[in-house]
A and B are shown apart, each in its own frame.
Chain A
Amino acid sequence: MLNVGLITEGFVLDHIQAGTSLSIYDDLKLDQLDCCVAIIKNARSNKMGKKDILKVECDIDNLNLDVLGFIDHNITVNIIKGEKIVEKRELHLPKEVKNIVRCKNPRCITSIEQELDQIFLLTDPATATYRCKYCEEKYKGHKKLR
């Protein structure tokens, strides 16, 4: 098994659905951070079979938890200090996400007025359903929309 070293200060995103860590890396804009980031793909998991993990060596305040909750609220966020987990943050479904994903409905006003914010609203928390604020098109899943 591949070993990736511990981080001293930062956070670990665990239980990421296998194969989605790179798109999450992009969505969280981790490429813009000037710190060490480890992307682990297809790690063995008792719970999930296999999973992805992201280890980021920077302050948790640099992480947009709303974006992460929107993408997958089952991801575990572990905050690390002195190489130890000091806190686990729970993710929630944000009521609104702005400019994270684009509406794919060709009849939506956002398809012709590019300056409009792309806003999706949580319309059914039980099924984690988001709809475009303007045309009510259902958000059909993270990977499909990109």
Chain B
Amino acid sequence: MQHLMSPLDLSVEELDKLLTLANDIEKNPQKYAKACEGKKLATCFYEPSTRTRLSFEAAMLNLGGSVLGFSSADSSSASKGESVSDTIRVISSYADICAMRHPKEGAPLVASQRSTIPVINAGDGGHQHPTQTLTDLLTIRSLKGRLDNLTIGLCGDLKFGRTVHSLIHALIRYPHIKFILISPEELRVPSYIREDVLTKNHIAFQEVERLEDAMGDLDILYMTRVQRERFFNEDDYVRMKDFYILDRKKMTLAKDDMIVMHPLPRVNEISVDVDDDPRAAYFKQAQYGVYVRMALILTLLEVKVC
């Protein structure tokens, strides 16, 4: 039985197979409409996340399966003091596969050690968010036609932004990847990403503070939201939240074939006047999120569709 805790749980070959399956689902949705008939997905969300949870639920429903679960710790037994290990043992007897989001880092890993069904990490604190990474990789591969030879600008909260950390981990496995890390001093990538991941693997990267300085070089601009829930201090959040705003004027500095990505939800870091720009890919990205989660559910449940 396979779980998904980190995007690196999948080899490059396994990932390629998964993304190819997702593209086939995109082209032939009817072929997969009953693939998971009779199967149940449990969505165990200990913190609010409408988007990821609905994306998982849409994925399972599209496959003909059904869904059960909870959407906050208050409505689970965690409010009564039940451990993650105990919860997953119970959920294992109710469902065939589980997607878990938890504010504490490593909680889905704890669950996977006790589970008798596949567990998908749907986000654990500021640590990992592998299905967002799979979504990002599918978006890049589908819209740019490759996962190598890319210059990627990561902009915003690079310190607490787990989507950014996961994406870096996943992309360094491909040749000729360059990162431009765009953030204020206080929200730069953690030292372990800079030293143990980028420097150690000889990945080209530069750190800049002004978005305008990087725009012209980018194949992909990945914007992130400064997340209030990751700050212990409200003053720090208020100071940082409007640091970057991508607008039409800044888009004039970008290449014609650059794409703008964002894990969503956005607050005001991308002006709505960018939405009509053909380079804005963030809503397509959300759609790819459903396809890749469908492919992941099929893969982890070992369901074959001919």
Contact = CB atoms under 8 A, between A and B. Distances in A.
A144 to B, nearest CB: 15
Contacts of A112: 104
Interface residues of B, number: 18
B110 A109 contact: yes
Interface in B95-109: 102-107, 109
Contacts of A136: 105, 127, 192
Nearest to A114: B83
B218 to A, nearest CB: 28
Contacts of B110: 109, 113, 116, 134
Classify the interface of chain A: helix, strand, loop or mixed.
Answer: loop
B65 interface: no
The 9 lowest CB-CB distance pairs between A and B, nearest first, are A134-B106, A135-B105, A109-B104, A109-B106, A107-B125, A109-B107, A135-B106, A107-B105, A108-B105
26 contacts: A107-B103, A107-B104, A107-B127, A108-B104, A108-B106, A109-B84, A109-B104, A109-B105, A109-B107, A109-B109, A109-B124, A113-B83, A113-B110, A116-B110, A124-B200, A132-B106, A133-B109, A134-B107, A134-B110, A135-B105, A135-B124, A135-B125, A135-B127, A136-B105, A136-B192, A137-B105
Interface of A: 105, 107-113, 115-116, 123-124, 129, 132-138
Interface of B: 83-85, 102-107, 109-110, 124-127, 192, 196, 200
